[in-house]
Amino acid sequence: MYRIAPSILSADMARLGEEVQNVIVAGADWIHFDVMDYHYVPNLTFGPVVCSALKPYLKNIPIDVHLMVEPVDLLIKDFANAGANIISFHPEASRHIDRSLSLIREHNILSGLALNPATPLCMVEHVLDKLDMILIMSVNPGFGGQKFIPAMREKIRQCKTLCDKYADKSGRQIMIEVDGGVCDSNIADLIDDGANIFVAGSAVFGKDDYHMAINSLKQHFPRG
């Protein structure tokens, strides 16, 4: 299963509903929703009110909430009520990671942990049974349009090995999402490395034709 998740951080904020509709018609599989609090990251975006306002525009397309906020637990509840389908947070931003993951699952939402470029992969090792997705940040969180950090390819490969080993034991495959600097020229390598969910902000919203932009990313997806 491979998915493109356009990040509305790079959309035209004055026309957010329309932008979401357009990108869905253009082939978006998920909508990536970057929540920033000017505390955990040096930028400020949108909260649950905007998420629930966008919900009618989403039809059955999942909304993938990426929390770059500290602390996380209260917002997990609010985003669950606002219609989030997947919620990821950064382990550094929660005192009790296992508890925060359980809180997400209690709302029947898929759970994810987001790892900054310098955050070691071992942060996820003891909570794999509570995880549906591992989000590998391939830029430092806070802004769209940054350059992909090449060392993250090795981290994705190690993450894939870890997830495959876990799948052998449990029969459950954890998704691997890459976020930051994903574009036409690196997506094929990232697929080879083992990622299957691709956040794309500027690579979609930075283009005039969203359909062409999403298609040129998807053309690298393995067939069948």
Catalytic residues: 34, 179
**Separation between Cα atoms, residue 99 and residue 208, nearest integer Å:** 43
User: Closest CB to Zn ion among 19 and 179?
Assistant: 179
For the chain, give the longest Cα–Cα distance.
47
Q: Is 66 in the site for Zn ion (CB under 5 A)?
A: yes
The item of Zn ion, ligand DX5, none sharing an interface with residue 58, based on CB under 5 to 8 Å by kind, is: none
Q: Is 90 in the site for Zn ion (CB under 5 A)?
A: no
- Residue ranges in 146-205 that form contacts with Zn ion under rule CB under 5 A: 179
User: Closest CB to ligand DX5 among 166 and 176?
Assistant: 176
The item of Zn ion, ligand DX5, none sharing an interface with residue 203, based on CB under 5 to 8 Å by kind, is: ligand DX5
User: Closest CB to ligand DX5 among 83 and 181?
Assistant: 181
User: Closest CB to Zn ion among 66 and 153?
Assistant: 66
Site residues (CB under 6 A) for ligand DX5?
Answer: 7, 9-10, 32, 34, 66, 139, 141-146, 179-182, 199-203
Closest distance to ligand DX5 from the beta carbon of 7 (Å):
4
In degrees, rounded to 5, the angle at the alpha carbon of residue 67 between the alpha carbons of residues 63 and 73 is 105
